[in-house]
Amino acid sequence: MKRYLDDRVRQDLKQKMVVLTGPRQVGKTTLSRQLVDELAGSQYLNHDVVAHRAVILAQSWRVSAPLLVLDEIHKMRDWKSWLKGVADGRTPGQQLLVTGSARMDTFRQSGESLAGRYFRLRLHPLSVREWSEQMQVPASAALTHLLNRGGFPEPALATSDADAQRWRADYFSGLVREDVLEFSRLQEVNAMRLFADMLRSRVGSPLSLASLSRDLGVSSVTLAKYLDILQALFIVFVVRPWHRNIARATLQAPKVYFFDAGLVQGDEGIRFENLVACHLLKNVQWQQDTRGAAVGLHYIRTKDDSEIDFCLSEGDALTHLVECKLSDTKAQRTLIRFAAEWPQAQAVQLVRECRAEADVGRVQVRDAAPWLAALEV
């Protein structure tokens, strides 16, 4: 399956080393192997494979390989300084692609800076646009499918819902059991598994770590560390309140969403909101990675508890206000109010089951499927 990053990776490899990250099983290895197959003599090496690891540690790969792919090397000690040496000492013209399922710019390890030596790209699950284009189906059918299966390639392409659910159960337990050990101690795995499971039913609500700490018998400081680890492993992402002062926004309660929308425990409205969050984050990070744009994804919550699900920013200005509704096509009063307060921002109410689109003042009530399909990626 062709992915939205395929052409961009090819383009960037001609200029610099490319560091490709994203959730486990989101398609990084498939993308990498397709590129290797395109260039005769290229080589793929995965640090998790014993035979490959020996080649990596000895640096005995083919110097003539036009493309060298190194996967999961962030698990090495001092991987940054090691990679800097590899990048600087490679054969002239050799393309270098580095992939990993843990966020390689988080939990910084000791070593030399790689600044200026690479382009960073983040691969996300399938979107309405991708599924619609690849499967040649209407946007509405793509949205229904992704709400049911999630956007990871294997469950999305599975022949039955049962096969997709079996994949998801193994995926979630495997992530927490194995990958967490990269950043934490064995004794903490059970507590983190329970924490991650509790987050599944708290999607879309401001997250109180203090409340969860009482339920789990673990300090809120420890839970904050667990949340950082779950983000580093691309299991969840947080959306923070928008504020011109970044420090003030960081101190306020975030909302948590899952990269795999199929992991969400809740009604269809919550799962729809999670899917929209995934689409918006994907497009924000695409703009950050490919254009260096100063864009961000947030939500708005005021002191009187008025809230908008999402807002998009560029610099210190808001560009979009987004509210998610399952079937209510009546423009929400809070969205009307915020649209008046931020007249420069496009205000849109995305409706999963939209009977009729409408414009209510500055608020655009829109059918969610075609709106999501019209996003850049």
CATH number at residue 34: 3.40.50.300
Q: Enter the tokens of residue 323.
A: 């509210």
Residues 63 and 203 in one domain: no
**Helices 220-232 and 209-216, axial angle in degrees (round to 10):** 110
Structural contact between residues 229 and 184, judged by C-beta atoms closer than 8 angstroms = yes
Residues 201 and 224 in one domain: yes
Residues 54 and 168 in one domain: no
Q: Which of 82, 102, 122 is the last residue of a domain?
A: 122
Structural contact between residues 43 and 65, judged by C-beta atoms closer than 8 angstroms = yes
Residue 183 or residue 62, greater confidence: 62
**Could you identify the residue written with the tokens 């924490």?**
195
Residue 232 or residue 364, greater confidence: 364
Tally Cβ neighbours within 10 Å of residue 18. 24
pLDDT at 244: 63
Asked if residue 67 belongs to a domain, the reply is: yes
Residue 87 or residue 192, greater confidence: 87
Q: CA-CA distance, 161 to 148, in Å (whole number)? A: 8
Asked if residue 200 belongs to a domain, the reply is: yes
Asked if residue 334 belongs to a domain, the reply is: yes
Residues 58 and 176 in one domain: no
Of the given ranges (8-17, 130-139, 238-247, 296-305), which has the lowest mean pLDDT? 238-247
Asked if residue 361 belongs to a domain, the reply is: yes
pLDDT at 208: 92
Q: Is the pLDDT of residue 136 over 80?
A: yes
**Helices 139-149 and 128-135, axial angle in degrees (round to 10):** 110
Residue 59 or residue 215, greater confidence: 59
Asked if residue 229 belongs to a domain, the reply is: yes
Q: Which of 89, 122, 155 is the last residue of a domain?
A: 122
Asked if residue 78 belongs to a domain, the reply is: yes
pLDDT-derived band at 304 (thresholds 50, 70, 90) equals: confident
Q: CA-CA distance, 31 to 199, in Å (whole number)? A: 30
Domain count, the chain: 2
Asked if residue 140 belongs to a domain, the reply is: yes
Structural contact between residues 238 and 227, judged by C-beta atoms closer than 8 angstroms = yes
Asked if residue 1 belongs to a domain, the reply is: no
Q: CA-CA distance, 148 to 91, in Å (whole number)? A: 47
Structural contact between residues 374 and 148, judged by C-beta atoms closer than 8 angstroms = no
Residues 148 and 133 in one domain: yes
Q: CA-CA distance, 20 to 35, in Å (whole number)? A: 13
pLDDT at 170: 87
Domain that holds residue 278: 128-373
Q: Span 244-254, mean pLDDT? A: 61
Residues 97 and 154 in one domain: no
Q: Is the pLDDT of residue 179 over 70?
A: no
Tally Cβ neighbours within 10 Å of residue 106. 14
Q: Enter the tokens of residue 103.
A: 């966020």
Residues 337 and 270 in one domain: yes
Residues 152 and 267 in one domain: yes
Of the given ranges (179-188, 224-233, 264-273), which has the lowest mean pLDDT? 179-188
Cα separation values, 98 from 124, 152, 198, 246, 282, Å: 16, 21, 33, 31, 20
What pTM does this model have? 0.93
Sequence-distant (6+) residues with CB within 8 A of 50 are: none
Q: Is the pLDDT of residue 51 over 70?
A: yes
pLDDT per residue over 60-92, tens digit each?
999 999 999 999 998 888 898 899 999 999 999
Q: Which of 71, 94, 122 is the last residue of a domain?
A: 122
Sequence-distant (6+) residues with CB within 8 A of 53 are: 47
Return the DSSP state at 23.
S
Residues 195 and 67 in one domain: no
Q: CA-CA distance, 233 to 86, in Å (whole number)? A: 25
Residues 204 and 160 in one domain: yes
Residues 30 and 109 in one domain: yes
DSSP, collapsed to helix, strand or coil, labels residue 65 as: coil
Residue 192 or residue 144, greater confidence: 144
Residues 115 and 201 in one domain: no
Q: Is the pLDDT of residue 126 over 80?
A: yes
Q: Enter the tokens of residue 113.
A: 């800076």
Burial class (CB in 10 A: 0-12, 13-18, 19+), 354: buried
Q: Is the pLDDT of residue 178 over 90?
A: no
Q: CA-CA distance, 94 to 120, in Å (whole number)? A: 18
Identify the helix (H) or strand (E) that includes residue 280: helix 268-291
pLDDT at 158: 96
pLDDT at 5: 97
pLDDT at 189: 78
Amino acid at 211: S
pLDDT-derived band at 125 (thresholds 50, 70, 90) equals: very high
Q: Enter the tokens of residue 122.
A: 């983040």
Partners of residue 365 on adjacent β-strands: 349, 358
What's the gap between Cα 67 and its chain centre?
Answer: 26
